[in-house]
């Protein structure tokens, strides 16, 4: 089969799945099908690299949960909109964005994502949940795009995006969103020097997914992830000497010290998954993000403490309930 045909078939499959999910979402709203008969929720790893430098092999950090046509995004690394398009996620379904913290690998597209979703036809409200200071960044981002927003309002008859975006600060963690079928809770994690760094837990119709964000080993994260089906956890794949070598800095350099004290090594991530008692550990936010992963070595280390399922995350990987 030619590459063109294979591509066309894949596009058709993505299109079919998008259409099917939208029909189910419409039917749910109309009460034609019950939630029990709806398509299962799906978690899509949109970007699995850590660190702000754009990478060749992995996109910047972002995840999406799609539930009955509604899209919940966690983190907005650069290019998250493009990754959503590749995953076949519907832009008009974007309703909630959860930011783990304000490092640019996680928030470069915080305003760009709702802006582009709006330009792609999203006329619904989008709530941005995250650290309090995010409010200033969102206001500034909207000001930066005022020309485009006002031009499209006049020229294309679109609603005012500034009235469709709201910001909800997550002060200490705890319950962030409760829609019945979808419940989101947060916990503060340890990512010095950033004070407001959060992990998020989604409970969706009996399926639970936790996104760690960036964190050193954190007991708050262990508590949040207790008994979860899926834990997506960041991972540092290098020891201290390797981090210094890879960053081409002396071991005492602030950047080397930041990487070591603010992230979770592959030596620790299995213990965290075991303590939390999760079913599946998904490794993501790989640091370094553009190097081949020695899966055997990492898995051997994790297997010293964790015996559940281990998944090495890849961009556009999809996870669904078993």
Q: Which residues are catalytic?
A: 105
* Nearer CB in complex with Zn ion: 105/229: 105
**Distance between CA 239 and CA 6 in Å, rounded?**
42
The stretch among 134-142, 151-159, 212-220, 273-281 that binds Zn ion (CB under 5 A) is 212-220
CB of 285 to Zn ion, least distance (A): 6
- Residue that is written with structure tokens 């802006």 in the block: 115
* Nearer CB in complex with Zn ion: 118/200: 200
Residue 36 is given by DSSP the state G
Residue 164: how many CB atoms within 10 A of its CB? 17
If binding is defined by CB under 5 A, does position 313 make contact with Zn ion?
A: no
If binding is defined by CB under 5 A, does position 75 make contact with Zn ion?
A: no
CB of 122 within 8 A of CB of 91? yes
* Nearer CB in complex with Zn ion: 236/310: 236
The stretch among 29-37, 40-48, 214-222, 225-233 that binds Zn ion (CB under 5 A) is 214-222
**Distance between CA 301 and CA 297 in Å, rounded?**
6
Which one among 105, 190, 229, 268 touches Zn ion, defined by CB under 5 A? Answer: 105
If binding is defined by CB under 5 A, does position 107 make contact with Zn ion?
A: no
Size of the site for Zn ion (CB under 5 A): 4
* Nearer CB in complex with Zn ion: 68/105: 105
The stretch among 152-160, 167-175, 206-214, 221-229 that binds Zn ion (CB under 5 A) is 206-214
CB of 74 to Zn ion, least distance (A): 12
The set of long-range contacts for 184-189, using a CB threshold of 8 Å and a minimum separation of 24, is: 184/72, 184/96, 184/98, 184/129, 185/224, 186/98, 186/129, 186/224, 187/218, 187/220, 187/221, 187/223, 187/224, 188/220, 189/100, 189/213, 189/214, 189/215, 189/216, 189/218, 189/220, 189/221
If binding is defined by CB under 5 A, does position 50 make contact with Zn ion?
A: yes
- Residue that is written with structure tokens 């008994």 in the block: 227
Task: Give the helix ranges, DSSP H, for 134-292.
Answer: 134-144, 146-156, 161-164, 219-224, 240-247, 254-262, 269-276
The stretch among 150-158, 213-221, 235-243, 309-317 that binds Zn ion (CB under 5 A) is 213-221
* Nearer CB in complex with Zn ion: 170/182: 170
If binding is defined by CB under 5 A, does position 214 make contact with Zn ion?
A: yes
CB of 51 within 8 A of CB of 58? no
Q: Where along the sequence are the contacts to Zn ion (CB under 5 A)?
A: 50, 103, 105, 214
């Amino acid at each position: 089969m030619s590459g063109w045909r294979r591509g066309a078939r894949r596009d058709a499959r993505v299109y079919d799945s998008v259409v099917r999910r939208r029909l189910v979402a419409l039917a749910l709203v109309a009460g034609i099908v019950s939630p029990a008969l709806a398509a299962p929720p799906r978690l899509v790893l949109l970007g699995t690299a850590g660190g702000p430098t754009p990478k060749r092999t992995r996109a910047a950090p972002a995840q999406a949960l799609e539930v009955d046509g509604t899209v919940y995004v966690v983190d907005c690394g650069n290019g998250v909109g493009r990754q959503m398009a590749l995953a076949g996620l519907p832009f008009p379904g974007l309703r909630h964005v959860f930011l783990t913290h304000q490092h640019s690998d996680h928030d470069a597209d915080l305003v760009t994502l709702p802006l582009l979703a709006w330009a792609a036809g999203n006329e619904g409200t989008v709530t941005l949940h995250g650290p309090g200071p995010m409010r200033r960044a969102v206001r500034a981002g909207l000001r930066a795009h005022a020309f485009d927003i006002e031009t499209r309002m006049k020229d294309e008859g679109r609603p005012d995006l500034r009235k469709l975006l709201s910001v909800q600060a997550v002060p200490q963690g705890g319950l962030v969103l409760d829609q019945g079928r979808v419940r989101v809770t947060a916990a503060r994690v340890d990512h010095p020097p950033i004070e407001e760094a959060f992990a998020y837990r989604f409970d969706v119709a009996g399926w639970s997914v936790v996104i760690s964000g960036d964190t050193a080993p954190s007991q708050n994260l262990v508590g949040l992830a207790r008994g979860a089906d899926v834990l997506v956890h960041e991972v540092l794949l290098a020891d201290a000497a390797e981090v210094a070598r890879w960053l081409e800095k002396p071991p005492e350099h602030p950047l080397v010290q930041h990487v070591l004290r603010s992230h979770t090594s592959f030596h620790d991530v299995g213990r965290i998954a075991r303590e939390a008692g999760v079913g599946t550990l998904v490794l993501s936010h790989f640091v370094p993000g553009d190097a081949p992963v020695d899966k055997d070595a990492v898995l051997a280390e994790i297997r010293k403490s964790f015996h559940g399922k281990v998944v090495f995350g890849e961009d556009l990987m999809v996870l669904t309930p078993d």
